[in-house]
């Protein structure tokens, strides 16, 4: 599956993100600020759509996920946790796209980006214990379960573990 991650956020993308953030099925396991949708709406209503990319990248690196067939199907956020360590948050916005391996292929793209281009040491994911799909996804991608904290399983993958995953898959 061809996945493209992009940084630029257009008005139509922001409207999709707002729709996703207002969908309880999509946000059930996300740790996003409950005011995220209204903040995006404020930017749109102010006529400053040119600030959307800046706004979504202010505290982290924010990537939109495009497939070959469809633009803006989800997003990945990378938040700095420590020097050369990031936390990954991923959401596929339209439930009709769930189960199509979009998240799997998107995370593979980001793993290559962060380990081979950014040269980070570790990528972390915090997955709610009831989010079975994401738990299976991160395990399948070679992430290791390191701890359980506040109803979340903390998964990590280091550069060496990722190389091992690539060698075996």
Q: CA 118 to CA 107: how far, in whole Å?
A: 15
Q: Which two tokens stand for residue 56?
A: 């979504």
71-91 b/e with 16+ CB inside 10 Å = b?
A: ebbbbbbbeeeeeebbbbbbb
Please provide the average confidence, as pLDDT, over all residues in the chain. 93
pLDDT for residue 136: 97
pLDDT for residue 124: 98
CA angle 100, 106, 110 (to 5 degrees): 165
pLDDT for residue 34: 65
Residue-by-residue DSSP string for 77-99: EEEEEETTEEEEEEEE--GGGTT
pLDDT for residue 103: 98
Q: CA 142 to CA 154: how far, in whole Å?
A: 13
**Least confident residue range of 27-31, 81-85, 109-113, 148-152:** 27-31
pLDDT above 70 coverage of the chain, percent: 99
115-131 b/e with 16+ CB inside 10 Å = b?
A: beeeebebbbbbbbeeb
Q: Which two tokens stand for residue 95?
A: 């439930």
Q: How many secondary structure helices (H) and strands (E) does the chain include?
A: 7, 7
């Amino acid at each position: 599956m061809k996945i493209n991650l992009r940084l630029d956020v257009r008005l139509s993308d922001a409207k999709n993100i707002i729709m996703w953030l207002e969908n309880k099925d999509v946000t059930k396991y996300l740790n996003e600020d409950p005011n995220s949708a209204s903040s995006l709406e404020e930017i749109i209503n102010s006529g400053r759509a040119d600030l959307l990319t800046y706004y979504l990248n202010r505290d982290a690196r924010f990537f939109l996920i495009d497939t070959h067939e469809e633009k803006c199907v989800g997003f990945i956020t990378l938040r700095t946790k420590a020097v050369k360590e990031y936390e990954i948050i991923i959401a596929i916005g339209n439930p009709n796209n769930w189960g199509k391996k979009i998240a799997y292929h998107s995370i593979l793209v980001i793993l290559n980006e962060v380990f081979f281009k950014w040269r980070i040491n570790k990528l972390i994911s915090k997955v709610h214990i009831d989010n079975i799909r994401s738990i299976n996804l991160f395990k399948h991608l070679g992430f290791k379960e390191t701890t359980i904290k506040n109803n979340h399983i903390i998964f990590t993958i280091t550069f060496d573990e990722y190389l091992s995953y690539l060698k075996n898959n």
